[in-house]
Structure 1
Amino acid sequence: MRPGVEVRQVEPADVDGVLALVLAARAESSVGSQVCTSEREQLQQQLGALTAVPGGTVLVAVSGDEVVGLLLGRVLEPTLFTDRSSFTVDAVYVASGHRRRGVGHALMLGATEVALAASAEQVYVTPLPGARGMQRFFVQLGFAPAAAFRAAATAALHRRLTLDAPVARRSPRRIEDLIARRRETRRRGDDGPQDVSPKAEHAAPVRGGTSDQAAQP
């Protein structure tokens, strides 16, 4: 690691430096809107929420008084689908002027020590979209593909599901009532005047007294 660079948990005095790095990462990504919000105040609230969550981790690499790198991660406790803890690295970013100097390695070492302290057996990483250099960095550290994620915009997904939803099927009882009304309409059209009882109030009038004109429900 570059001499004079310290990796530690984030402190209140680091907030401005962390925000600047996160926004720089957003600007570099080809899909910046998927990385984070561009609103500093909202971003600060989200970072605060991460540090408040049990297992939430924000590590910073500091050179002098400058924050030159950060790592966002979480300890994931056992769930319904696994009885083992794990550690997930949501983002690693190093300022452009401090790359290839061991800062990324130092951040990952700090994350690994957090994982060991939490008895996490696996470390998962999620490279920032479009960060090819970070992809190569993780491969060099021995990370292998573990899962594939797919994403869809919520509004587009809802629209697609709504359009593809099957038409509600009529219940057998409603179908029986429909058949009965049609038979009654035909019979009344052949044998006598229209039935004006409630059960037939919605039936279409029979034209010309023919038995081929059926009322619609």
Structure 2
Amino acid sequence: MRPGVHVSAARPEDLDSLVELCLAARAESAVGAQLCTDDAERLRDQLGALLAVPGGLALMGTVDGVPAGMLLARLVGPSLFTDVVSLNLEAVYVVPDARRRGLGHMLLSAATQQADEAGAADVYATPLPGSRGMQRFLARLGFAPAAAHRVVATSALQRRLAHEGAPAAAGRRPSPRGLEDLIARRRQAREGRAASAAGDQATASISMQVNRAVQMRRPSASSTTTW
């Protein structure tokens, strides 16, 4: 443990400090809305629920007695579909002035110890898009890509599903699948016309060869019998 740097499990009296750290992380992130709400009271209730729920983990990091970092996580499993237990890191944050002092490592070390004691086989982290510093930090510690997440607003998804499921209207632009079918039909039509043209050409060639053979077998004028 480095002098002046300390990590411990968050207690109910630490909720206000956790709220401030979460709001600071949200303000620093370019996509803060994906991290947490900006409503301090609501955020306080959510963090309180994390502290109370089985498997919830909240760690507080301090530097010289001042709150300077946090880690929020959940132990997941076993469940109906798996016997495997894993630790899901929801957020890891250290204030800019306290970085490069080992606080982030200490937070993760404490969380990893909790995961080991719970029998968690893996530790998952979901760093926010654009958080290059956290991406590099996790990569140095051995975190590797496990899945790609995509996000869409519920209202936007509902509109898209309704649009895709609606009957084709007059003048509606063909879907990509419709375009593929149209191209395939046109290709078949061209191939059919080409085959027909090739057949006509072959028939004409055969007719010319027959006519030429007939002419070659016709008797010459010197041997013609006059009646």
Report if TM-score (shorter chain) is over 0.5.
yes
Q: Which residue does 1:100 correspond to in 2?
A: 100
Amino acid at match of 1:105: H
Tell me the residue number matched to 1:75. 75
Aligned residue in 2 for 1:125: 125
Alignment match, 1:148: 148
Partner of 2:34: 34
SS in 2 for 1:67: strand
Q: How far is 1:140 from its partner?
A: 0.3
CA separation of 1:147/1:81 partners in 2, compared to 1, >3 Å: closer, same or farther?
Answer: farther
Structure 2 unmatched runs, 5+: 168-227
Task: State the Cα distance separating 1:166 from its structure 2 match.
Answer: 4.8
TM-score, normalising length: structure 2:
0.70
Distance apart, 1:123 and its partner CA:
0.6
Q: Residue in 1 aligned with 2:112?
A: 112
Q: Which amino acid aligns with 1:120?
A: A
Distance 1:43 1:129 in 2: 21
User: How far apart, in 2, do the equivalents of 1:94 and 1:77 lie?
Assistant: 28
Deviations 1:52-72 (A, max 9, x none): 221010011123432111000
Over residues 16-57 of structure 1, what are the superposed CA-to-partner deviations in whole Å (9 max), with x where a residue is unaligned? 221111101101111111111111000001111112221010
Q: Deviations over 1:159-200 (max 9, x none)?
A: 111121255xxxxxxxxxxxxxxxxxxxxxxxxxxxxxxxxx
8 Å CA contact 2:15–2:48 kept in 1: the answer is no
RMSD: 1.3
Q: Which runs of 4+ in 1 moved over 4 A?
A: none
Q: Is the CA contact 2:88–2:123 (under 8 Å) kept in the aligned structure 1?
A: yes
What count of residue pairs does the alignment treat as equivalent?
167
Q: 2:135 and 2:2 mapped to 1: Cα distance?
A: 22
AA of the residue aligned to 1:160: R
Distance of 1:128 and 1:56 partners within structure 2: 20
SS in 2 for 1:101: coil
* Partner residue, 1:66: 66
Secondary structure, in 3 states, of the residue corresponding to 1:116? helix
Distance 1:103 1:137 in 2: 12
> Which has more radius of gyration?
2
Any stretches of 5+ residues in structure 1 without a counterpart? 168-217
- Identity across the alignment (%): 54
Do the aligned residues in 1 keep the contact of 2:50 with 2:57 (CA within 8 Å)?
yes
**Residue number in structure 1 paired with 2:20:** 20
Q: Is the CA contact (8 Å cut-off) linking 2:12 and 2:48 kept in structure 1?
A: no
The amino acid of 1:98's aligned partner reads A
Deviation of 1:9 after TM superposition, in Å, equals 0.7
Shift of 1:150: 0.9
8 A Cα contact 2:31 2:128, kept in partner: no
The structure richer in helix per residue is 2
- Native 8 Å contact 1:7 1:62 kept in 2: yes
